[in-house]
Amino acid sequence: MADEATENAMKAWRAEIEAMHTAGARFVVLAGLDLIGKLEVIYLFHHEGQLKEVKLQVPYDVEFPSITDLFPSANFVEREMVDLLGAKVKGAAPFLELTEGAGIVAPLRKNAVNPRPSGKPATPPTTPPATPPAAPKEAK
């Protein structure tokens, strides 16, 4: 559940997004960042030859609304953020087919655990060493 500060931040963020839409800005892209414990999402807009950023910070477990009702072009990139950062975006389903089975969950988080670190095989090689050990010398 979002606390009051997060709720207020989300309201202010939504108002900024709506202002961008009213002004006729073009949605370019968003970048999701892991700030350990919370996510920062930076929305980039292009309006009258200028780039404008709108930022939102939310804890990992807080769901925040999609902006696809105003900017349909944000659909893919929001869903990618769900896959790669584990963001909870209302109405955005994962779609990259990345995390099925034993893959890394939310790989772009700083604490993401790779189930196969260093690419080393799970079991040690069973082949014998190339050179056999030297036979002990016989005592004279």
Partner 1 sequence: MARTTVVPIGPQHPVLVEPIHLRFEVEEEVVKGVTPVIGYNHRGIEKLMENDFKKNVFISERVCGICSHQHSTAYSQAVERVMGVTPPDRALLIRTIMFELNRIHSHLLIIGLEADAIGYENMFMQCWRDREIVMRLVEMVSGNRVHYSMNQPGGVRRDINDAQQKEIEAGLKQLEERFADLEQIMRHDQTWNSRLKGIGLLSKKLAMDLGAVGPVARASGVDYDIRSTRAHPYAAYHMLKSFKPIVHEAGDTWTRMIVRMEELYVSAAIVRECISLMKPGPITAEVKGNPNGQAWSRVEASRGELVYFVKGVGKPVMDRVKIRTPTFANIPSLGPMLMGCQVADIPPIVTAIDPCICCTDR
DSSP 7: H
For partner 1, the closer CB: 9 or 77:
77
Residue of 21, 31, 38, 66 interacting with partner 1 (CB under 8 A): 31
Residues 117-136 that bind partner 1 (CB under 8 A): none
- Among 54, 112, 62, residue whose Cα is nearest residue 87: 62
Q: How far is the CB of 98 from partner 1 (least distance, A)?
A: 6
Per-residue mark of binding to partner 1, 98-117 (x: CB under 8 A): x--------xx---x-----
Q: Is 15 in the site for partner 1 (CB under 8 A)?
A: no
For partner 1, the closer CB: 33 or 62:
33
d(CA 109, CA 80): 13
Quickly list DSSP for 23-73.
HTPEEEEEEEEE-SSEEEEEEEEEETTEEEEEEEEEETT--EE-STTT-GG
Residues 56-85 that bind partner 1 (CB under 8 A): 71-77, 83-84
* HSE value, Cβ hemisphere, 13 Å, CA-based, for 135: 3
> Quick one: residue 121, left, alpha or beta (phi over 0 = left, psi -120 to 50 = alpha)?
beta
Give the number of residues in contact with partner 1, rule: CB under 8 A: 29
Residues at the interface with partner 1 (CB under 8 A) = 26-29, 31-34, 42, 44, 49-51, 71-77, 83-84, 95-98, 107-108, 112
